[in-house]
Structure 1
């Protein structure tokens, strides 16, 4: 993959913004992870089940990062039986990509987009056909499907219609029953650490996503639409609901990492602007 062309950071407000995001990136996994220090790198190890965490630059680190440092973290990840992955912002830590790639990992680029403080809540068309968009309480009957649908969405990436539908979603919900995943999210909802929004038909979520507030910043994550329900504006409606909920909690800066440039254009229509490039490194498939 060709090296990313970094977003220019000539003005101080953009640098202040990226520093604010760095503080967020360092803070948010600490609610559910053990932290291991590797000098220029920090490894977050999830306590319990759930989405695996990653390694990233130590907050405030401005020196070089060696291939040996990356290899030490990768060896620890293998020892723990967790995914060998790193996440960082290209413009904030430009010297990390080369040693990560030299260690043998593959780097993927994702547009990092922000809805600035003061920007209006995105306007999105209301879904048709009896679909309702709502933020979800801990007792919502559609919560289990809202947590399962992104897994099916990300298994068939992109914006085109796919094959997984309500039958596959019901199977995914059954497969996750009893694994504690719903209970963990309920605990985070009750603690104000996570908010879930979904486009629901009957008692089934066709599209869902989350935001995770820390102070005045929140990241929108995991917005995914059931592949057979795509091209109906559901992701835009869910994103708008998440922004509205974040603002109601006092969040000023809302940001996200788009899957690719096509997805970034969809978020741009909602008022998000690209400020940098998020990089995710993982082992080759």
Structure 2
């Protein structure tokens, strides 16, 4: 992948938290993004144009994350910032690698799925839609799992989910995100989003209710998101796959691996994020 493309991604990664309501704190070669209000937590990443960080830089960021009581995490592209992995691992964080994939403009598009549609900010299914990926990421992989409609209903009833629903509704209303869902018999079985910045869009948070896996629903949701992003003027559509098995699913939607996204978290802060 060309340096120019990776530079565009770096600009995107630096911009999307800012337009998403995050506060950016400067730590020299690193930037810490702190979300203001409800929603998914943010992370630290290399500052634009930085070319190196040492253990002391990483420790300063970790100390600030502990002080703020936020997720202790770093995200970056291996090919762009290869110097960050060593200091991060030396600080005791676990690093997870994820295929970074970009949509091939000439790739054939899968046909639209009859059970997949886009959601608006006031859609009554939005609460379930933001809950499905939470259950999916709690049981990662592509194998069929135990969590089904009953578990979805219980999880969606958690009052904490309302804050997440409200944050996504505001983003939908302002055009800062778009969400698609697969719905059968009134139950949301898969959901995902894309976040546009200029003519670049990242597909993120695609997840299938574990009991509904291996029906092609994540692929169908992804295809709907891609179609909408392209229709709205996106020229570059990309995503980070959870692992190689998930990457093979996205390849069927026209994506190819071009680099490696790295996510580092403290063990106590849970698992990894990703599409």
Identify the TM-score tier after normalising by the shorter chain.
Answer: over 0.9
What does 1:39-58 correspond to in 2, within 5 Å? 39-58=28-47
Counterparts in 2 of 1:109-148, with a 5 A limit?
109-116=97-104, 118-120=105-107, 122-124=109-111, 126=113, 132-148=115-131
1:172 Cα shift?
Answer: 1.1
Aligned residue for 1:61, secondary structure, equals: coil
Deviations 1:68-116 (A, max 9, x none): 0000000000000011100000000011111111111110000000004
How many residue pairs are counted as aligned between the two chains? 267
The gaps in structure 2 that reach 5 residues or longer are 269-275
* Contact 2:116/2:224 (<8 A) preserved: yes
* Residue pair 1:199, 1:207 contacting (<8 A) in 2 also: yes
**When the two structures are superposed, what TM-score results if normalisation uses the length of structure 1?**
0.90
Which 4+ runs in 1 deviate beyond 6 A?
none
1:142 Cα deviation (Å)? 1.4
When residues 230 and 124 of structure 1 are mapped into structure 2, their CA distance, relative to the original with a 3 A threshold, is farther
Question: Contact 2:127 / 2:161 at 8 angstroms: preserved in 1?
Answer: no
- The alpha carbon displacement at 1:201 in A equals 1.5
In the other structure, the counterpart of 1:102 is: 90
Equivalents in 1 of 2:160, 2:149: separation in Å? Answer: 16
Contact kept? 1:218, 1:253, Cα under 8 Å: yes
> Residue 202 and residue 142 in structure 1: after superposition, are their counterparts in 2 closer, same or farther (change >3 A)?
farther
Deviation (angstroms), 1:55: 0.1
Structure-2 residue corresponding to 1:28: 16
Query: Quick check: 1:265 aligned with 2:248?
Result: yes
TM-score, scaled to structure 2: 0.94
Partner of 2:260: 277
TM-superposed deviation, 1:193: 0.3
Give the Cα–Cα distance (whole angstroms) in 1 for the partners of residues 137 and 159 of structure 2.
Answer: 16
Q: Which residue of 1 aligns with 2:216?
A: 233
Q: Does the 8 Å CA contact 1:121/1:243 hold for their aligned counterparts?
A: no
CA distance in 1, matches of 2:162, 2:256: 38
Say if 2:119 and 2:179, in contact at 8 Å, map to a contact too.
yes
- Report the Cα offset of residue 52 of structure 1: 0.7
Task: Show the counterpart of 1:6.
Answer: none
The one-character-per-residue Cα deviations of 1:134-185 (angstroms, maximum 9, x if unpaired) are: 0111222211111100000011100001010100101111104673222221
Alignment root-mean-square deviation, CA: 1.4
| Alpha-carbon shift at residue 126 of structure 1 (Å) | 3.0
Segments of structure 1 that go 5 or more residues without pairing to the other structure are 1-8
Whether the aligned pair in 2 keeps the contact of 1:65 and 1:95 (CA below 8 Å) is: yes
Q: Does 1:157 align with 2:140?
A: yes
Tell me the residue number matched to 2:152: 169
Name the SS of the counterpart of 2:162 in structure 1.
coil
Instruction: Report whether the alignment pairs 1:250 with 2:239.
Output: no
Most deviating of 207-216 and 196-205: 196-205
Residue in 1 that maps onto 2:61: 73
CA distance in 1, matches of 2:189, 2:31: 36
